Amino acid sequence: MLKPLFNPRSVAVIGASNRKLTIGYRIVQNLIDSEFQGPVFPVHPKDRFIKNLPAYPTIKDVPYDVDVAHIVVKSSLVPSVVEACGEKGVKAVIINSAGFKEVGGEGIELEKAVVEIAKKAGVRVFGPNCQGVMNSDPAVRAYCNFTFTPLRQGRVSLFAQSGGVGEVVNNRLFELGAGIRMYASNGNAADVDVCDILEYWGGDEGTRVIIVHIESLADPKRFLEVASKVARNKPVLGMKSGRTAMGARAVSSHTGGMIKRDTTTELIFKKAGIVSMSNEEEICQAAVALAAQPAAKGKRVGIVTNTGGPGIIVTDEVIEAGCSLPDLEESRQKALKEKLYPEATVSNPIDVLATAGPEHYRAAVEALIEDPNIDIAVIDFITPFFVDTEGVAREIVDLAGKASKPVLPVVMTNKLGWQKTLSIFKEAGVPVFDLPETGGRVAAVFAKHAELAARPSEQAPSLANIDKAQAEKIISNGTPKGGGYLSQPDAFELLAAYGIDSMPYGSAESSDQAAKIAAYVEFPVVLKVDSEDVVHKSDSGGIALNLADEDAVKKAADEMLGKFQDANLFLQKQAEPATELIVGAVRDDPAGHVIMFGLGGVFVELMQDVAFELAPMTRGEAANMLDSVKAKAILDGTRGRAPVDKSAITEILLRVSALVSDFPEIAELDLNPVFAYTKGSGAKVVDARIRVQN
């Protein structure tokens, strides 16, 4: 329970200082400047006063209850200080001091020791090596942090893994006049982590919107679970730094090779319903608007403007973001036409003309709000000097205040000359944007949030015909010592245990045996060398296609055994040609498995036209993968080709997802190709590689 941390009734600063350029001074100063609503207890071994406050030699000398204690002493002293805090009954410590996990070696041990002591003593640890927390609630006003942005009450709570990013975003929210509700930047996160904080803010009524900045997730599974719950109730905006960092994946499979950026965090955001963003300015603007305006129900944007250019800019932005720009109902257009100047445009964007006054704006904005074709209204308003701009402002805020859809005004003006006009929006709590592109981009965030919120709340389905016990047996018997690739028969048997179809197969050790097996699986057959060393079979002569009879099989088998000594042979009935797909899974610890889907050949190799999802997938997510590749027209049938069996493909994706979720020891699974037949005729795995590694 984080209540005492974010709502302390009293704060001690252990390591407080009278030297102005120290953290120990700054925290005391910030608590005072921000009008913290409880007592502040500086702790200093010698000084009797810190600033104007009486100081105490140790935490135990403080003659009152202490909820939160900052610890700003050198790291080696921290364990004993935490112990003392425990004895004093402190609820939570914020360890600002550095010198722990981040320095490696002994620091790691020191951090562990501190957490252990704290746990025993019943003290929660925030940090170490961190900034701290803030709460702008007028009943609290806790600035337990050493940063520079003044505390301004707002409705956006902000978690930042990077203190620098947190401070920049916090400062920008301050500049926008919006402020924050709560703030947390927890450094090494030895105890209180992002999940605890999200969970707490999820239940905090004053928090309308949450911003989460992530560099890396220590416990992605719990994050997903917690964030999913929270995002169902309030918008969560996520920002991941390090998007372009080339992952250190050296796996040679296509699946692994394809994940070049940090796709996984993006997938977690999507699955949790977090709107993924990459720009601090846009995050701030969107958060403020989301906190002040109703959520959107869809992505249909309506625009009102009094000059062409800015209206076009909003149009470009929202269309590029995948929104639509439908016209109003015809009757409404007609009615609106009556109320505007004759030269005005009533199609979307509605151009009320530069001379439009309050009544024109009222008519146009009202039309957008009432029209069932529109989910989000963006109002461009450049302030001509010959217009009653205050009147226009009053009409917009009046309508925005009553609307059940977001109304997003872009007010383009000289801020000094039109201060009064702007203050009408401010006093009404209707956030405005300076630039049309900002209005367009924020509209796109509302649309994205609507899309995420509209997803059915589905679970990964339970699938019939799964023999988990059999799969377990195959994996435990078939995995090479220390991990590695399953043999081909094991791989296909494992797939079969999870209800994933392939062609009849068998294995052989000699060419005679191969010929016999070939007859059994039925001609024509494919002959492959089955060896962990031969990864790209077709490049190295380890595969022979279309063998029509026993002689052909024998000849090919002899050649192959000559080339790859001691290798096993694997035979499989050759599949009828079909649309080639690739289905893959790669484990990205600790998040779990990323599932990949794409069309084979050039699509995957050259165009990198692939879709990713995080396992375990819901049926909706699996089906959505098929629609997410650019080449999807091929699946639907194009230029005389028949559509493929999409439900069979979806089924394979779901079963792969179930398999890797049930067996986290599968490090990599590569079904390449999968042959997809026409609708109703299923899909079959033609080649499979499965690597097991704990």
Binding residues among 422-461 for a copy of itself as defined by CB under 8 A: 434-438
Which of these segments, 114-122, 221-229, 451-459, 598-606, binds a copy of itself (CB under 8 A)? 598-606
**What's the min distance (Å) between Cβ of 32 and a copy of itself?**
15
Give the residue, chosen from 65, 116, 320, 467, that forms a contact with a copy of itself under the rule CB under 8 A. Answer: 320
Give the 3-state DSSP-derived string for 492-555, with helices as H, strands as E and coil as C: HHHHHHCCCCECCEEEECCHHHHHHHHHHHCCCEEEEEECCCCCCHHHCCCEEEEECCHHHHHH
User: Which CB, 311 or 592, lies closer to a copy of itself?
Assistant: 311
Residues numbered 15-34 forming contacts with a copy of itself, rule: CB under 8 A = 21-23, 26
**What's the min distance (Å) between Cβ of 59 and a copy of itself?**
24
**What's the min distance (Å) between Cβ of 150 and a copy of itself?**
7
For residue 237 the two structure tokens come to 């905006």
Residues numbered 323-362 forming contacts with a copy of itself, rule: CB under 8 A = 343, 354
Give the pairing of strands 40-43 and 376-382.
Answer: unpaired
DSSP 220-245: HHHHHHHHHHHHHHS-EEEEES-TTP
Residues numbered 616-635 forming contacts with a copy of itself, rule: CB under 8 A = 630-631, 633-634
Which helix (H) or strand (E) segment holds residue 666: the answer is strand 666-676
Which of these segments, 64-72, 88-96, 277-285, 468-476, binds a copy of itself (CB under 8 A)? 277-285
**What's the min distance (Å) between Cβ of 497 and a copy of itself?**
33
Contact 263, 628 (CB under 8 A): no
d(Cα 248, Cα 230) in Å, to the nearest integer? Answer: 32
Which of these segments, 46-54, 133-141, 305-313, 661-669, binds a copy of itself (CB under 8 A)? 305-313
Which helix (H) or strand (E) segment holds residue 449: the answer is helix 436-453
**What's the min distance (Å) between Cβ of 351 and a copy of itself?**
10
Phi and psi at 347, nearest 5°, equal -75, 170
d(Cα 622, Cα 462) in Å, to the nearest integer? Answer: 14
Contact 161, 214 (CB under 8 A): yes
**What's the min distance (Å) between Cβ of 298 and a copy of itself?**
19
User: Which CB, 482 or 640, lies closer to a copy of itself?
Assistant: 640
**What's the min distance (Å) between Cβ of 49 and a copy of itself?**
21
d(Cα 610, Cα 581) in Å, to the nearest integer? Answer: 10
User: Which CB, 26 or 44, lies closer to a copy of itself?
Assistant: 26
Q: Coil, helix or strand for 400? A: helix
**What's the min distance (Å) between Cβ of 158 and a copy of itself?**
13
580 binds a copy of itself (CB under 8 A): no
Contact 610, 604 (CB under 8 A): yes
Residues numbered 356-415 forming contacts with a copy of itself, rule: CB under 8 A = 382-383, 385-386, 412-415
537 binds a copy of itself (CB under 8 A): no
Which of these segments, 37-45, 221-229, 309-317, 390-398, binds a copy of itself (CB under 8 A)? 309-317
Cβ neighbours of 245 (radius 10 Å): 10
Which of these segments, 87-95, 424-432, 602-610, 676-684, binds a copy of itself (CB under 8 A)? 602-610
Using alpha carbons, list the distances in angstroms from residue 16 to 68, 96, 140: 14, 12, 21
Which helix (H) or strand (E) segment holds residue 605: the answer is helix 602-605
User: Which CB, 281 or 370, lies closer to a copy of itself?
Assistant: 281
Q: What is the CA radius of gyration of the chain?
A: 31
Phi and psi at 545, nearest 5°, equal -100, 155
Which of these segments, 121-129, 249-257, 551-559, 600-608, binds a copy of itself (CB under 8 A)? 600-608
Residue 623's identity, in one-letter code, is A
**What's the min distance (Å) between Cβ of 343 and a copy of itself?**
8
Give the residue, chosen from 294, 309, 480, 680, that forms a contact with a copy of itself under the rule CB under 8 A. Answer: 309
Residues numbered 219-248 forming contacts with a copy of itself, rule: CB under 8 A = 241-244
d(Cα 123, Cα 117) in Å, to the nearest integer? Answer: 8
**What's the min distance (Å) between Cβ of 416 and a copy of itself?**
8
d(Cα 217, Cα 226) in Å, to the nearest integer? Answer: 13
User: Which CB, 543 or 617, lies closer to a copy of itself?
Assistant: 543
Residues numbered 142-201 forming contacts with a copy of itself, rule: CB under 8 A = 146, 148-150, 160-168, 171-172, 174-175
User: Which CB, 111 or 651, lies closer to a copy of itself?
Assistant: 111
Residues numbered 93-122 forming contacts with a copy of itself, rule: CB under 8 A = 103
DSSP 108-164: HHHHHHHHHHHHHHT-EEE-SS--EEEE--TTT-EEES---SPP-B-SEEEEESSHH
**What's the min distance (Å) between Cβ of 598 and a copy of itself?**
12
